[in-house]
Amino acid sequence: MSDYIEKNQDNDGVDRRGFLKCMAWAGTGTLCLVQGGVLKSFALADVLQKNVGNLKGDLSFVQISDSHIGFSKPANPDVTGTLREAIAKVNALPTPPSFVLHTGDLTHLSKPEEFDTLAESLKSLKTERIFYVPGEHDVLNDNGAMFHERFAQGTQGDGWYSFDQKGAHFIGLVNVLNLKAGGLGNLGHEQLEWLEKDVAKLKSSTPIVVFAHIPLWSVYPQWGWGTDDSEQALSYLKRFGSVTVLNGHIHQTMQKIEGNITFHTACSTAFPQPHPGEADSPGPMKVPAEKLRGLLGITDVNFVRGKHTLAIVDSTLQG
């Protein structure tokens, strides 16, 4: 298989074969980067050892997700330890990320001491700022009041917001509140209305990055891995040339490209979950201790101005 673009129908710098090749390596530590319309891939070990040059984009940031502080079951009795390892991984990147996105499930049971441990641990991240969206485990019992007070001050509605960085527009959405019986993740009317207005003023050439906990695409509705009203949200983003959607919740990397929208889910820093339908339920998956770190990880995202596709690199805690 060639490393170069063979069929690039969307003129977005990525063809399907090249993309699949990239994906086959994701999770084992590979950097995929689009430069001059050519998809290139590098072993992450080489990136970390700075054996490859010219990987710098205009903006790089890191996504971490699903820390589940407070979880202590056999699938991982030391989630604080693996979070620290994830932080060390971020701090070892050749270029410190401009900021870090935490896409939810900071805690396992929404307890104050769990939020404390999470906040204390993340203080050692070498980055300027951390942005958060809640997972369903962060809003138990109080509809997210504690999360909101500690991690979402100054945001709109139930905690949604947007900000601009280096010409890209970032949107943090909340889809874990007011869930309806039998349903999936939920954005709700008020948030959708806000989103429509938020992007209305932007030029179609503005790169958009949306982040939320539960996937905004239908990964596996049988397990609740999707969002009921995500279609409407995405309809507001169709006119944009580059949209990247970053989610957590499913504790494994998965990626899909639909038109100009790239969907990506991140690993957990706490415990893995089974592939869709490959177990009786999506509960925490116990794997042999030596395999755990190969299933946990972080996601590094590079944005090069003028290029449509963001370079998304998943790296595990192993090695």
Evaluate whether 164 touches 170 at the Cβ level (below 8 Å).
Answer: yes
Residue closer to other proteins by CB (options 34, 219) is 219
Q: Give yes or no for residue 72 binding other proteins (CB under 8 A).
A: yes
Q: What's the Cα-to-Cα distance from 9 to each of 12, 13, 208, 305, rounded to whole Å?
A: 8, 9, 21, 21
Among residues 102, 137, 169, 213, the one that binds other proteins under rule CB under 8 A: 137
Rounded Cα gap, residues 99 and 167, in angstroms: 15
149: phi then psi, degrees, rounded to nearest 5: -65, -35
Nearest distance in Å: CB 136, other proteins: 5
Evaluate whether 63 touches 47 at the Cβ level (below 8 Å).
Answer: no
Rounded Cα gap, residues 39 and 5, in angstroms: 7
Q: Give yes or no for residue 280 binding other proteins (CB under 8 A).
A: yes
Q: Give yes or no for residue 278 binding other proteins (CB under 8 A).
A: no
38-43 and 30-35 beta bridge pairing: antiparallel
Among residues 43, 52, 140, 192, the one that binds other proteins under rule CB under 8 A: 140
Q: Give yes or no for residue 272 binding other proteins (CB under 8 A).
A: no
Nearest distance in Å: CB 63, other proteins: 22
Residue closer to other proteins by CB (options 74, 306) is 74
Among residues 13, 272, 282, 297, the one that binds other proteins under rule CB under 8 A: 282
What Rg, from alpha-carbon coordinates, does the chain have?
18
DSSP 224: T
Contact region for other proteins (CB under 8 A) — 38-46, 147-155, 180-188, 240-248? 180-188
- Which residues fall within 8 angstroms of residue 291, CB to CB, at 6 or more apart? none
As a residue count, the chain comes to 319
110: phi then psi, degrees, rounded to nearest 5: 60, 25
DSSP 179: P
Question: Is 302 in a helix, a strand, or coil?
Answer: strand
Q: Give yes or no for residue 36 binding other proteins (CB under 8 A).
A: no
Q: Give yes or no for residue 110 binding other proteins (CB under 8 A).
A: yes
93: phi then psi, degrees, rounded to nearest 5: -65, 140
Tokens for 165?
């960085």
59-64 and 100-102 beta bridge pairing: parallel
Written as one string, the DSSP assignment of 98-111 is S-EEE-S--BSS--
Q: Give yes or no for residue 109 binding other proteins (CB under 8 A).
A: yes
Residue closer to other proteins by CB (options 182, 288) is 182
Contact region for other proteins (CB under 8 A) — 177-185, 188-196, 205-213, 256-264? 177-185
Smallest Cα–Cα separation from 183: which of 140, 135, 225?
225
Q: Give yes or no for residue 188 binding other proteins (CB under 8 A).
A: no
Residue closer to other proteins by CB (options 172, 282) is 282
Nearest distance in Å: CB 295, other proteins: 16
Q: Give yes or no for residue 287 binding other proteins (CB under 8 A).
A: no
Site for other proteins in 213-232 (CB under 8 A): 221-224
Residue closer to other proteins by CB (options 44, 285) is 285
Nearest distance in Å: CB 224, other proteins: 4
Among residues 16, 56, 73, 291, the one that binds other proteins under rule CB under 8 A: 73
Among residues 108, 213, 264, 308, the one that binds other proteins under rule CB under 8 A: 108
Among residues 12, 136, 300, 314, the one that binds other proteins under rule CB under 8 A: 136
- Determine which helix (DSSP H) or strand (DSSP E) holds 33, and give its type and residue range: strand 30-35
Give residues in contact with other proteins (CB under 8 A): 70-73, 75, 108-110, 136-137, 140-141, 179-184, 221-224, 280-284
